[in-house]
A and B are shown apart, each in its own frame.
Chain A
Amino acid sequence: MNFKLHFMYAFLVGIFFIHRLPATPDNIKGRNLFIQYCAECHGERGEGVEDEYSKPLVGDWSINKLINYVDETMPDYDPKLVTGSDAETISRYVYQSFYRKPELFSKKEKIQLSRLTNRQFRQSVADLFSQFLGQPILKNPGNGLRGQYFKAEGMNKRKQKIAERIDPAIDFNFGQSAPFDGLDPQKFSIYWEGSILPTESGWYDFFLQSTNGFKFSINSLGGSHTIDAKVGKGSVDEQSTKIYLLGGRPYPIKLSFYKFNDPNATIELSWKTPLGERELIPREYLFDQAVAPSFIPQENLPPDDASHGYGRGLRVDASWDEAITFAAFKAAKFAGQMIDQIKNDEKKKEKVMSITENFVQYAFREKLTEEELDDYVRSKFTEGLTWQTSVEKIVLRTLKSPRFLYPELQSLIKEDADPYVVAAKLALYLWDSIPGIAIHQRIERGQLNNPKQARDLAKHMLRDQRSAAKFNDFMIDWLDMRNKELPALSKTVHLGFSSALALDLRRSLMIWVGKNIWKNKGTWQSFLSMDKIHLNQRMADFYGIKLPWDPNENSFAEMDATTLDRYGLHTHPYILASHSYPEESSPIHRGIFTSRKILGRSLRPPSEAFSLNNADFDPSWTMRQKVEELTKSANCMSCHDLINPTGFVLEGYDAAGKSRSLILGKPIDLKVEYVDSTGNERKFQDPEDLLEHALDSSRPSQSFVNELFKYLAKQSPSSFDKVETNELSKILKNNQLSIPDLYWQLGYQAAIYGMSWKK
């Protein structure tokens, strides 16, 4: 079998120099040698050369590693030119003058004007309408849908309610009997109501299967996303509806079921999530409370620029503009319908005016002047136009306006700390959205006039479900899940590893993120060490664990991670299985994840792809032996000395993440040597040692904080020189700050950055 292996050149990232070193003979010699052999590709000051090595020569290798690397591989056109003491002199010069000083190269970046990203656009439009439809919020709900069971008579399907209960899933076959005593088995109806809370954004298909009549709706607005199959077809009928949903937001569900003399009574409600697995909707996504529907733009939007690892709105083009226009048009139509439903009496004019004026102000995230209100709103209500048409035009213009689409426009124009600007930024950074009524009211009451009040607001906003949803979305990036298929392992080698199980693994991880890290305010330690794990029956069966609860009652339950031999986030079965080959583990993929995420080390993307042919190796070799053989050249080792050990230490888990003690009948060698970023050599015996080191070092939290900041603000932290990412990562590392608290602090600091508050 052929495996494609990516071998990475680990170099370090950085920039420029001008710093005086003492003019010792060694330094002078070092500089001369550098100019002679290295400057052609790295620039005279290590700043890099276009088309050669374009990045600044900075990084986190130790001096010994650097010397060794230069000795063996540099200059790359003839490594024999620089060896021995020359290699050491050059390396020491490089190391001291700029290699460890990335700040020398950092150009002051400006905060860039950008448009709403796709997530921000959908979220903002949804929340804009929710100001009028009601924000959908669940308050201590129970899992499942509320089912009401009715006697039916003739055309009256709800003649008399006989029973009510919470149904954890909709999957019934009542056969020829009635679900409750007191119901006529021939004629009854059921009405289920509640909501669904998907955790991830994307396209969802809902499938209804029944031998009877039914009517289903999900987040229905003006009849959208409704399946009307009241007329039973006598045989099994399946119908479906497709809908784009934003994760972390509840949507109303309604389902009516009618039996009338049919020979059978069956109904099943299933879904296909964006990950593509069709299944009965698990109970943890269903809730017994109804919520207001949300207007979610359903248009396909061209993907955002993700070249920096997070979506940014840095470009506009025709396809984006057309998609946005179409979405705005649909939104305008919907607004028109809403207005149409307002009772036509003498107060209608006043109501319509006030709704529309607020709509524009919420969309623009500020209070408009009388003159602006005349321009955007009042002048549009002219003779001969219906309310509906006027409102459509206003909404269309508003959602197409740069004042809506460029959320940071005002902050680039204004210098004083305008409370509306601060609120807009907070909503953007913490929620990817707009400030709603409550925040506008806070501002009007004069409660957002100083940094302390802004802090309070940020803390308050943290509790909103939209913060949780955005953090969840960040974790999808951070955990390498974005646009990634579920792990598909060989079903013959890993018996029982189905796609449903793969989905369980991913869910298990995300449930932990939502509950243990977000809801319970997890610390850095609890994050990296992952001392709890969530299991359902299928996972328990596969990993050979006995569950302490009745699987009918709970889909997922929390257990100590050690029960499953887990020692840290890097040992979660999803992480292990998603970094594996179909049959065997992949130490390289696992090592890259562990180095980057758990240890915070920097790795360059692969510059060359190698193809590994399994047949080239002795079949009795372990994966570790094969990888060692393949990566033994000095060039490879510049990265693989970091990747290999952090991957080999996880070899105690097979491709499916099951613990094992033997490979090919031989005991597994887990011992590895790892050189940390200060050049100290460390010995890891197992994943727990690696975890201990990660908790001890400062790089992992620094890297995490930087990634989170970039995701929240869609800008580089270097654009915000006063934002204390380093401070915060220290406090985080010391477990004096929980991850959710880090979240609002970053959002808060980015929001007030560059604002001068009036006394």
Chain B
Amino acid sequence: MVCHGKNNPAMNLDPINRRAVLRKIGLSALSLPILSQTNSLFGESSSKNSPKQRLVIMFSPNGTIPDHFWPVRIGEDFEHKTILKPLEPFHDKLLILRNIHNKVKGDGDNHMRGMSCLLTGIELFPGNVMGGGGTPAGWPKGISIDREISKHLQSQEHTRTRFGSLHFGVGVKDSADPWTRMSYDGPNQPVTPLSDPYETHRKLYGNIQQRKQVHSILDGLREDFKKVANQLPESDRKLLIDHAHLVDRMDRNFASDSYRSALVSPPPDLPEGLRNQNDNIPELGRLQIDLLVNSFVNDFARVATLQYTKSVGQAKMNWLDIDDAHHTLSHEPDKNKDAYDKLIRINTWFAEEFAYLLKKLETTPEPGQKGNMLDNTLVVWTNELGKGNSHTLDHIPFVLAGNGFGFRMGRSYWCGDNNNAHNRLLLSLAHAVGHPLETFGNPSLCKGGPLDLAV
């Protein structure tokens, strides 16, 4: 599996020096496992003052309800229908892309291609995974745009970060298949999102959470040592006394705050014991968003994905008073008013989560620079299907927000060109970060080059 940032060339600090540095700043070896994969914990980012460009791609599954999603009016005064209503406060920062299709053909059913070709723009290998239709398929034949952009940014000193890209999951089931992965490091190389905020926390900030928990039992432990040592003859106590000193040492290490103060923004506190399960999806998602934004503040990465469940995801959104499973609902015909209504509510809820992310970025000042983080970030909300019950790959929802990529925002846009394959959008993303690829994914779908979204 892929380990993010593993190949970060900036990590090649001499291990002995690194240890000496850590000791100097009072870090215990307990926090070493995480620090061993890091180098830029200590304010390195402050030297990089050119405006940053960040990309977030948020995914929600199973298609939308087009009539309640797409604005009818093209241009700046587009209207916000039910599903996009939560985004109204960001009107000026939105770019709604219409008439863009996933035109990748070949093996795999539409869910599979919808998902695995969404960011790669290239066919799936023939394979052994049989979906609900079409032919069996395997992994896609190429890299995804998020990883491509991240690689580009990592290749340059001034845009290089600790991880390059981070991949967050919310309620993503523990199964590796083309319905469950959208990021790829290359042909046949799926990237697994981190679906547990505690795991994310550990990856980003090391063992802080663990140390906190260990700290909470130290008083009881001290009592134990005192009690047993008192019962032992003097001569047998030495080892226990040595051991008790180690407990005190751990306590002192916890108290020393140097690790946290080295960060631009301290890690968010996680609630204790939140289970990684269906009912907690809203809370898990918010935690992941908080962690995502915090990782940006600390400049751990410039690219992130945020994946809610998976293609064919079966979340039961009890928090919306919906007991049915999402994908099953999405197969219902439009005339099933109940299902139709529920699907609108589900997609509206995703829009609210998207809005939460935008708000979080907008209210977070850009460290060391003017403005807020949304000014330097492009957030894309997308889906693997245009519509659930038709399984169409036409009219894939693409809602762009934020000013990070220099696109002209505050409008809805109709792609009226001859070629409206979504590969052109993927190309635009690369071009916007100074990575002028001629093609991305299947070259024949790139005709016309990048969409010109700046004018």
Contacts and interface: CB of A to CB of B under 8 A. Distances in A.
Contacts of A633: none
A490 to B, nearest CB: 36
Contact of A232 (B128, B224, B236): B128
A191 B286 CA distance: 39
Contact of A212 (B125, B128, B231): B128
Contact of B272 (A232, A332, A385): A385
Interface string A394-420: 001100111101100100110000000
A231 B178 contact: yes
B177 A114 contact: no
Contact of B217 (A260, A314, A326, A396): A396
A325 B126 contact: no
A660 to B, nearest CB: 50
A400 B224 CA distance: 10
Contacts of A325: 30, 214, 250
A413 B236 CA distance: 10
A469 B356 CA distance: 57
A213 B177 CA distance: 10
Nearest to A260: B128
A218 B224 CA distance: 37
B240 A406 contact: yes
Interface in A342-397: 375-376, 385-389, 392-393, 396-397
Interface string B129-157: 11110011011000000000000000000
Contacts of B228: 402-403, 406, 409, 413
A397 B246 CA distance: 15
B46 interface: no
Interface string A590-617: 0000000000000000000000000000
B12 interface: no
A317 B239 CA distance: 10
Contacts of B138: 231-234
Interface stretch (A99-107, A222-230, A278-286, A432-440): A222-230
A262 B250 contact: no
A314 B231 CA distance: 19
Interface string B189-222: 0100000000000000001001001101100110
Given A113-B232, A114-B239, A397 B220 contact: yes
Contacts of A409: 228, 232
Contacts of A329: 210, 213-214
A228 B1 CA distance: 10
Contacts of A154: 130, 132
B236 A401 contact: no
B105 interface: no
Interface string A106-123: 000010111100000000
A413 B125 contact: no
Contacts of A318: 29, 246, 249
A322 B28 contact: yes
Given A230-B177, A386-B273, A402-B225, A260 B233 contact: no
B127 to A, nearest CB: 5
Nearest to B233: A412
A393 B275 CA distance: 16
A113 B239 contact: yes
Most chain A CB atoms below 10 A, which of B28, B128, B217: B128
B454 interface: no
B232 A413 contact: yes
Contact of B239 (A228, A262, A314, A387): A314
A403 B250 contact: no
Nearest to A153: B130
Contacts of B272: 385-386, 389
State the majority secondary structure of interface residues on A: mixed
B142 to A, nearest CB: 14
A261 interface: yes
Contacts of B174: 223, 228
Nearest to A230: B177
Contacts of B207: 326
A228 to B, nearest CB: 4
B336 interface: no
Interface residues of A, number: 57
Most chain B CB atoms below 10 A, which of A228, A315, A319: A228
Given A388-B275, A413-B231, A115 B239 contact: yes
Interface string B165-180: 0000000001111100
B363 interface: no
B236 A113 contact: yes
Contacts of B175: 228, 230
B242 interface: yes
B139 A231 contact: yes
B216 A393 contact: yes
A212 B130 CA distance: 13
A656 B220 CA distance: 58
Contacts of A406: 228, 239-240
B127 A110 contact: no
Given A231-B176, A397-B221, A400-B221, A316 B129 contact: no
A155 B210 CA distance: 41
A542 B214 CA distance: 56
A364 to B, nearest CB: 10
A531 interface: no
B447 interface: no
B213 A232 contact: no
B390 interface: no
A455 to B, nearest CB: 28
Nearest to A330: B210
Nearest to B241: A316
A400 B214 CA distance: 10
B29 A401 contact: no
Contact of A231 (B129, B216, B220, B246): B129
B188 interface: yes
Contacts of B236: 112-113, 412
A546 B178 CA distance: 54
A628 interface: no
Nearest to A299: B33
B18 interface: no
A388 B273 contact: yes
A259 interface: yes
Nearest to B124: A231
Contacts of B275: 340, 386, 388
A322 B249 CA distance: 11
Interface of A: 110, 112-115, 154-155, 212-213, 223, 228-234, 237, 258-262, 314-319, 321-322, 325-326, 329, 332, 336, 340, 375-376, 385-389, 392-393, 396-397, 400-403, 405-406, 409, 412-413
Given A230-B175, A326-B33, A401-B221, 12 more contacts: A113-B240, A213-B129, A231-B138, A231-B139, A260-B130, A314-B239, A318-B29, A321-B249, A322-B29, A326-B210, A386-B273, A393-B213
27 contacts: A110-B235, A114-B239, A154-B130, A155-B132, A228-B174, A228-B175, A230-B129, A231-B139, A231-B178, A234-B138, A259-B128, A260-B127, A315-B242, A321-B243, A326-B33, A332-B213, A340-B275, A392-B213, A396-B213, A396-B214, A397-B220, A397-B224, A400-B217, A401-B221, A405-B243, A406-B228, A412-B232
Which are the 5 A-B pairs with shortest beta-carbon distances?
A260-B128, A389-B273, A386-B273, A228-B176, A321-B246
